[in-house]
Amino acid sequence: MKKIIAGMDIGFGQAKVCLKNGDESIKTICFPRIFAEAGRDNRGLNNHSVYGIEGERFYVGQEALAYQDSFIRRDFRDYVKDKTYWLCIGKALIDTGIFNGDDNIRIKRLILGLAPGHFYPENISHMKKTALSGIEFSYNNKICRFSAKEVKILPQGSGAFFSETLTDKGLIQEKNGYKKLHGILDVGYRTTDFVLFEKGQFIGEKEELSEDTGMRTVLEKLQSHIRQKYDKEELEFLEPVLRGQPFEFRGKEYDLSDQVEKLISDHIYKRIEPEVLKRWEGRINRMKRIVICGGGAYFFKNAGDFLKLHKDQIVILPQPELSNAVGFLRFGLMMEKSDSLKKQQKI
């Protein structure tokens, strides 16, 4: 069995994976969780890869953007129970070279994230059972299979805590700091998660910690603006505009930065800040860190007066969209060390 330790954050908008195979270097990958229906008789434009599962065939991720007319929406609430959730994991294992020369992979320890608002026993049980029993899929008509020996499901957002407090080897960076109160603000594609850690442990009610706002809210407002002024545009093509790139339309480029800035202010800063102060009232002043992560964290790098009384506490992690996956891997490595120590103590 390969000694694969993997942290995976398969969100509404993107699939983020961070893994280590034995002594090999850490591998990370991030791609949009987008699907397009694939035909039966080709591999797609420019040899784009085709993934199959349970009788359906898809283009997945960035390559799916080439097939706009064949987009398939898979962003319903319980998407973790959908076959395409596991297909994203299969693609990540393919793209990181884990299936190189092998068609049946057993992951030693798999850490998965689940949005706090979806952190129900039935979802957790389904995810664990599926990962343990294994998933079969095809990659360009080649059958592949993966499963996990051990599975842990953590609330999304908790990975950012471990990313902030643990090293790449799963060691605690600062023992006292690890135990202090941390607030995690995970601004994702569809939800914003508010997560608290103290003494190295998650605290609070998991199922009450998601707010139905995020990057998608801004994208939909931007889409509405573009539809009125220009023409219809798919959400999947607008995210670069949120990050400052011009909007291209009929051979011309348009600067929508002022409109984007207003949308972000109205639907991110002004909605999230009151929620933070309300949910963390009585705790926020004693937090060691307020960690902002997720794809929406980029919006906060020029956030002006957002939580201005707490500027010294705010940390925006490097590559914030990957921070949960990175933290899940570090947590998995910490658990590996803990289990190894327990075995040594029994000898």
Q: Do both 50 and 138 map to the same domain?
A: yes
Q: Are 327 and 159 in contact (CB under 8 A)?
A: yes
Q: Give residues with Cβ within 8 angstroms of 270, minimum separation 6.
A: none
Note the pLDDT of residue 110: 98
Q: Do both 179 and 268 map to the same domain?
A: yes
For residues 167-181, average pLDDT: 92
φ, ψ dihedrals at 89, nearest 5°: -65, -40
For residues 336-342, average pLDDT: 87
The C-alpha atoms of residue 264 and residue 308 are separated, in whole angstroms, by 17
Based on the number of CB atoms within 10 Å of its own CB, is 224 exposed (0-12), middle (13-18) or buried (19 or more)? exposed
**Which segment, 86-90, 199-203, 245-249, is predicted with the most confidence on average?**
86-90
- Helices 215-229 & 257-264, crossing angle to 10 degrees? 140
Over residues 282-295, the pLDDT tens digits come to 899 999 999 999 98
Over residues 262-277, the pLDDT tens digits come to 888 887 888 888 889 9
Q: Name the more confident of 46 and 68.
A: 68
Residue 55 in any domain: the answer is yes
Residue 324 in any domain: the answer is no
Q: Do both 110 and 46 map to the same domain?
A: yes
Q: Are 238 and 184 in contact (CB under 8 A)?
A: no
Q: Do both 69 and 197 map to the same domain?
A: no
Q: Do both 17 and 150 map to the same domain?
A: yes
Residue 332 in any domain: the answer is no
Q: Do both 26 and 130 map to the same domain?
A: yes
We report the CATH number of the domain holding residue 119 as 3.30.420.40
Total number of domains in the chain:
2
Q: Do both 185 and 116 map to the same domain?
A: no
Q: Do both 40 and 117 map to the same domain?
A: yes
Q: Name the domain boundary from 103, 126, 155.
A: 155
Residue 345 in any domain: the answer is no
Q: Give residues with Cβ within 8 angstroms of 248, minimum separation 6.
A: 254
Q: Do both 184 and 142 map to the same domain?
A: no
- Residue owning tokens 């090999």: 24
Note the pLDDT of residue 44: 55
Residues of the domain holding 46: 4-155
For residues 226-248, average pLDDT: 77
Q: Are 157 and 186 in contact (CB under 8 A)?
A: yes
Residue 19 in any domain: the answer is yes
Q: Do both 8 and 144 map to the same domain?
A: yes
Residue 328 in any domain: the answer is no
Q: Do both 107 and 234 map to the same domain?
A: no
Question: And the tokens for 37?
Answer: 């229906």
Model confidence band, residue 257 (pLDDT cutoffs 50, 70, 90): confident
Q: Do both 124 and 197 map to the same domain?
A: no
